[in-house]
Amino acid sequence: MNIKIMKSLFTMPLLMIGLVFFLNSCSNAKKKPTDESNTENVDEKIAENIKEVKYPSDVIPFFEKWKILLGDGTKSKELINYENKDFFYLQNDGKTNWVVYKTPNSGITSKTSSNTRTELHQKEYWKTETGGKLTGTLKVMHVSTSGDPRVAASYSVVVGQIHSNDGHKNEPLKICYKKFPGQEKGSVYWNYEINTEGDNSNRWDFSTAVWGYDMSVVGPDATTNPEEPADGIALGEEFSYEVNVFEGIMYLTFTSEGHPTKTFTKNLLASDFAKPSDIPQQTRDLFFPIGQKGTEKPNAYKGELNYFKQGAYNQTNGKDPKKNIVWCAGAEIYNGDISKQYENGSYTEVWFKDATVGAAVNPNK
């Protein structure tokens, strides 16, 4: 036989075997980095650990302790897996899930108020002497762009409250944010409403600044704002509050990155305003002109049942400032049309990413 033919016959099987090994090696090499069975296992484990976030109750796990009133008068006592796309819903800013509270300048209000709210109402009541604790981390995204700068309540929203359920049913605490139109920074302040001795038509609020101004800083006329606060909080800027009422004493703590932490203490069992001579100058300037000159019960809120509130309680309404220069904001309300109010800046919107409610804590431990 020809030697060349014999070499060829001998070489071909070897080449075939080599080719099979080569192809098999390539196939294995491709499989190793992307082993389908391993990938499936990893994906399953990730899926198990990720909870689908759809409702506010998926973000802040305390909604079984609350009921809610929305800006159109809708109420709900069950807030687990609950939302309303116009007033109370979930929003992601690209990094964080937030609970949104939104309400117009004009809607259906509660029986005791002229102002609309999308606000939580604590189900469990507590006595002043026992107390309770509320926290919140939030950012105010919008306040009304219409109103009267002379009116103390204009352009403001209440983001946390203590409300009494007895007697005059007044409010020992309202935590507020306010920003005048055209300005970058607004103010955070808290108000104490006296538990009035006698006729409650003489009640008034005393306001304390946290960052920026207190409530009493207003414009000199219907078209002029006061100067922008240098140490204020901008829309969209996070801040946190802690309200701890322990054995009748209210302890407040406010924090925000880039701002000094502020703390306050207020006795809810013994009044600071029981005599006419106790009435502060702020009250004389702001409330005396509208005839509200009352004093407080000597024991303040002692013995009364209270509850917390949290959300967006819009303080800007459409009432004529001539009726009450403190509370009647004269804002645009588009005849109560909520969609038009939302389209034209006549609303407030507050986002919370964290909050707790529960028993009081001894601040000295």
pLDDT in tens, 180-208: 999 999 999 999 999 999 999 999 999 99
Is 40 domain-assigned?
yes
**pLDDT at residue number 9:** 40
Is 109 domain-assigned?
yes
Is 363 domain-assigned?
no
The model carries a pTM of 0.86
Q: CA-to-CA distance for 70 and 39, rounded, in angstroms?
A: 46
Q: CA-to-CA distance for 365 and 362, rounded, in angstroms?
A: 6
Is 111 domain-assigned?
yes
Top-confidence residue, 9 or 231 = 231
Is 223 domain-assigned?
yes
**pLDDT at residue number 52:** 84
Is 364 domain-assigned?
no
Pair 98, 193 in one domain: yes
**pLDDT at residue number 111:** 77
Instruction: Check residue 52 and report its DSSP letter.
Output: P
Pair 66, 139 in one domain: yes
**What is the residue range of 33's domain?**
3-48
Q: How many domains does the chain fold into?
A: 2
161, 193 Cβ separation under 8 angstroms: no
When the pLDDT of each residue in the chain is averaged and rounded to a whole number, the result is 90
Is residue 357 scored above 70 in pLDDT?
A: yes
Pair 241, 351 in one domain: yes
Pair 28, 131 in one domain: no
Is 365 domain-assigned?
no
Q: CA-to-CA distance for 339 and 102, rounded, in angstroms?
A: 12
233, 212 Cβ separation under 8 angstroms: yes
208, 189 Cβ separation under 8 angstroms: yes
Report residue 70 as tokens.
Answer: 């929305």
**pLDDT at residue number 21:** 41
Pair 114, 170 in one domain: yes
Candidates 320, 263, 322; CA nearest to 289 is 322
Residues 334-343 have a mean pLDDT of 97
**pLDDT at residue number 342:** 98
Alpha helices in the chain (DSSP H): 3-31, 36-49, 56-59, 281-286, 338-343
Which amino acid type is present at position 23? L
Q: Give whole-number Cα distances, 324 to 118, 142, 179, 246, 343, in Å.
A: 24, 24, 20, 36, 27
Q: CA-to-CA distance for 55 and 79, rounded, in angstroms?
A: 9
Pair 245, 342 in one domain: yes
Pair 44, 64 in one domain: no
Pair 275, 323 in one domain: yes
Give the CA dihedral 309, 314, 317, 321, nearest 10 degrees. 80
141: confidence class by pLDDT, cuts 50, 70, 90? very high
